[in-house]
Structure 1
Amino acid sequence: MFQTLRYPCAHVVAACANYSLNVKQYIDDVYTLERTLRIWGNEFPVLRDILTWEVQPHAFEMLPDWSLRRRVKGRPTTMRIRNDMDVREQVDPKRCTICRTVGHNRSKCPHRNVYTGQSSRSERN
């Protein structure tokens, strides 16, 4: 969050305090108390009674946007904002549990017993 939005999180404030740095130079002006008070200092106009509006509320027909509807099937997609912390290190590729080689899994292993009735443990006895 800090690198993408310059949002003041606790570990950044603690790191700046540890190195005697000014925290304000690393935080965007949007998150200052002065900016927040300036935004909320304005008055919002009070809405009149709905019956006194010039346009009647039933004059507009609300149509749903079907493209914004959530898909039900499959794995849900994440809504997180990705940053540098989400990059994963390269891991070893998956190996077959029977022959320990890369490129296939247990169901497609060429060393698997051809006979469906015979188990792999029967050869060891």
Structure 2
Amino acid sequence: MSFDIGFWRYHEGAEEDHVAVYAALLDGEDVAAVQQIDTAAMVATLGTVLKGWTREGEIYWTSPQHRMSAQTGDKLLALSMNFGAARSVLLKVSTPMRRYGCGLWNPQMNAWLPGYDIADN
């Protein structure tokens, strides 16, 4: 069983059906209400906050007990991990990713947490 989360940033004043936006972004579709984000910097931040995890290739991270993959696009950073990793990963990545101005989408709970104002990272 996996646990998935997604990060993206709406244009100011725009907010859409998060379920539809997430599905479209995962499929690589362009969603006009969503801004481009710096996924390369966000992935680099993952490497910093996931201490004890090893990056394997472009999209995989492992720890002794867990595995996570990342899917990136111009407007999305999506993370998929084994369910046991969810709590520890969420605690480590949610705040740093939201500092990029991205909201956090939790499709398991249909919950959207807006991003913070964009800060220097």
TM-score, normalised by the number of residues in structure 2:
0.18
Higher strand share: 2
Q: Which has the higher contact order (CA 8 A, sep 6+)?
A: 2
Larger C-alpha radius of gyration, 1 or 2?
A: 1
